[in-house]
Homo-oligomer: A and B are copies of this chain.
Amino acid sequence: MSKSVPLFKIPDHQVAGHQALNGQLGPLVDESGLFYKPLKDDRGLREADFYKTLLTDDRVPDHIRKFFPKSFGTQTLEASDKSGPLPHLVMENLMSKYANPSIIDFKIGSRTWYPEATDEYIDKCFKKDRETSSLYLGFRVSGMQIYENQDLGYWKPDRKLTITYTADDVKLVLRKFVSSNQASDFKKEPDCKFASTVYGGSSGILAQLQELKSWFEEQTIYHFYSSSVLIVFDKGSLLEGKKAAPTIKLVDFALVIEGNGILDHNFLGGLCSLIKFISDTNKDC
């Protein structure tokens, strides 16, 4: 009997980070619902370390674990850039349960660097935080896609634009995100048809963000620099009258450091700012 070979492919719904396109190094997914992130540099190894620590860290309450992707250690497989076998971090593919997900990746914090980093690294991040929305809004839109319909597929604005969104841009995009009409058409006023379904309610995005916020008002064990909050729902299903499954996930942990008894005030401040934007959108819709 021949051993079945898992079929790896490029993720369909990746909105931020390095992508395995055109023979470059990037993450892969398989048919079983797993996501493989290549561990090439120091950042990758630090992220793998964090996932390993998290698995056994009993200071993280059970009800908070749902906000982190499930992880399954590392596995060596052929890298997407054909450079040969490379260890990959194995995680759940957050998008595998969605037919046509709309996604926004918010990189949280007005500061994406940690105090102990090198001056060179701090200078680089500091410059980028000032040039993008991070310093002003306490977060930046690191990437996004909004499902339009079967014909048009996804609206995926250029990351160079999304990272510099102003407050008004963010408000508009948060309205487009939960609208049934065409997001890519800026002449159309978003109809906000799905706002209460996606943002509101006891299991909506806002309720989940509030639960996460409550943890950040208490936890002093980790500081999350340059991590993101993903918000996702299945717009495709919703358009067919099925469940939206609005979900938030924390992702990107290459720059998580020990909290040492101090609140992660940088992440918390940014998270509160994001909650305020979504809460206002939900009210105004």
Contacts and interface: CB of A to CB of B under 8 A. Distances in A.
A224 to B, nearest CB: 13
Contact of A269 (B126, B136, B268): B268
A220 interface: yes
A163 interface: no
Contacts of A115: 130, 135-136
Interface in A101-160: 110-111, 115, 126, 130, 135-138
Contacts of A276: 217-218, 220, 263
Contacts of A273: 262-263, 265
Of A135, A138, A217, A269, most buried by chain B (CB within 10 Å of CB) is A269
B262 A167 contact: yes
Contacts of A111: 110-111
A269 B268 CA distance: 6
Interface of A: 110-111, 115, 126, 130, 135-138, 167, 217-218, 220, 260-263, 265-266, 268-270, 272-273, 276
